[in-house]
Structure 1
Amino acid sequence: MTGSPNLKTKDRSPLLQTGRAAIMGILNVTPDSFSDGGLFLGVDEAVDHAARMIDEGADIIDIGGESTRPGATPVNVDEEMRRVIPIIEGLVRRFDVAISIDTSKAMVMDAAVNAGATMINDVHALTEKDALSIAAELNVPVCLMHMQGQPGTMQLNPVYEDVTASIREYLSQRVTACIEAGLDIKNLILDPGFGFGKSQKQNFTLLNELQSVRSHGLPILAGLSRKSVIGQALGLAVDDRVSASIALALLAVRNGANIVRVHDVKATTEAIRIMEVVEKVGKESS
């Protein structure tokens, strides 16, 4: 990889230079997220859930105060900050863990990092007003995600001539824009945006060709946990998608993902770690 974003493991070693995939635990503090909406609206409930994920193996806690599911209703800046800032502050007081703020708003990025967040996860890849300049000033790792269209309409009829090539080109353009705005390329992470303006076939094509999405040698984040593509393929309700989510996380890591964003931390961590043990033995034997 080109660089290693300044994210640390619990023993303070660089997170993405450990030879293993990093686990990002999802903490949605929204009433309308597709999987866990409304479950962790109180500060104590949210921090306690984060504590469980950390205990189960999460390297990063990703906190989101605005749902980006298909058809989601936008949230204003004040409401988003009201939801996330107290939880970030609560986590910082109790844990030494990487904290990611899942937002596209410059003001929320600024407030979250000043409250203790150590990473920005932006589904709009820093294209919103002032996001690039604020991210450059904050100088923390940033994940740039691809999305075709907007959350309200992105799944209506996604069309690509070549889904993998299109996403690689878009992410490469965003990396260039970030560098020109003053961001350190070593702080950038790429997310192809599974489920964000992609059909079932496009999502699975992208997963099979994940390594080809890597631009500038940067780390890749993959988020497939409990997503509708599983429901479409297997006819499963959201709460019944755990096993399939783990399988997709394993495939993502096998195909080049450096970070996986998941709801079910314990099961996913154990599955990935045993795969890594087996792969290590195979390399040593060859």
Structure 2
Amino acid sequence: MNQEARSLIIGVLNVTPDSFSDGGTFLDPEKAVAHAWDLVNEGADVIDIGAESTRPGSAPVDADAEWRRLEPVLAALADQKPKARISLDTYKPVTMRRALDYPVDIINDISGVADHLILETLAKRGLVYWAMHMHRDPANMHRDPLDGDEALRAVADFYQNTQATLKAAGFSPDRIWLDPGVGFGKTDRANVQVMRQALTEAARYEIVLGISRKSFIGRLLGIPDPRERDAASKMLELGFLFAGVRGIRTHDVARLKKLRDLVV
């Protein structure tokens, strides 16, 4: 199979003190850079670096604090040049602008889309924009979450409207990645349904999904420890590989790489 035709493996790198699955483990820049290299050596095509937790109920981090966590990691990776694309997980335009001085290839925006001015700038620079659907914000997304048909309609509208907005800002379709936001303001039933919807929409859009270690897996399958949800995550991610989604965001790169090597 052509390398570009395969789903990209996107390794998660949290440089935060409070992420739900590995909070604080890679807050130290040296440990973060070392883990980035571990992900690359395990087979990651993209390293997604985030400096603000988006777990349910999390508090926002100001842009300066976010950048203090990000900048030393980005600077080290710029010098070391790993053979993986760098994705920046942020919704703040000021952080996006600061990142333009570093070899960042992808902006992962959980808020959907930023203002038109920064979008035009990113499009002109040739970046990929990865936009995610979220109901409300991390602090409030699980108060009255979307369910059933309401969630499906909201995500379908998000795909259509966001694609149009990003095209108008100058992004080509291959540089528009759309994420249904599994676990972000949706009931467990809705999470399952929007995953199924994403598998069919993968023929129309560049779909990216992240379900690794998420709490709905723990609730549905009785696995309270996020680190013990990797095997269950892999079975869902295998379905994404079969559907040919653009990318899969995961904590467990090595085992996803083994599965992808079998999907030909």
TM-score (norm 1): 0.85
> Which residue in 2 is equivalent to 1:257?
245
What letter is aligned with 1:51?
A: W
1:140 to 100, 120, 127: 127
Kindly provide the amino acid, as one letter, of the partner of residue 176 in structure 2: L
**Structure 1 residue aligned with 2:193:** 205
Find the partner of 2:157 among 169, 172, 190: 169
Percent of aligned pairs with the same amino acid:
36
Give SS of 1:18's match.
Answer: helix
1:116 match: 103
Say if 1:144 and 1:171, in contact at 8 Å, map to a contact too. Answer: no
**What corresponds to 1:9 in structure 2?**
none
SS in 2 for 1:114: coil
Q: 1:245 and 1:26 mapped to 2: Cα distance?
A: 14
Which residue of 1 is the match for residue 65 of structure 2?
Answer: 79
What residue in structure 2 maps to residue 13 of structure 1?
none
Count how many residue pairs are aligned between Structure 1 and Structure 2. Answer: 260
Correspondence for 1:239: 227
Residue of structure 2 aligned with 1:103, choices 90, 104, 107: 90
Where does the alignment leave 5 or more consecutive residues of structure 2 unmatched? none
Alignment of 1:1-286 (within 5 A): 18-94=4-80, 95-127=82-114, 131-160=118-147, 161-214=149-202, 217-236=204-223, 237-274=225-262, 276=263, 280=264
CA contact (8 A) 2:181 2:209 kept: yes
Segment of structure 1 superposing worse, 179-188 or 36-45: 179-188
What is the SS of the residue equivalent to 1:115?
Answer: coil
CA shift, 1:134, in A, is: 3.8
* 3-state secondary structure, aligned to 1:220: strand
Structure 1 spans left out of the alignment, 5+ residues? 1-15, 281-286
What amino acid does structure 1 have at the position aligned with 2:249?
R
Runs of 4+ more than 6 Å apart: none
Q: Is the 8 A contact 1:143 1:190 kept in 2?
A: yes
Q: Is the 8 A contact 2:199 2:240 kept in 1?
A: no
Residue 283 of structure 1: aligned partner: none
Secondary structure at 1:68 match in 2: coil
Summarize the Cα distance change of 1:36–1:134 in structure 2 as closer, same or farther, 3 Å threshold.
farther
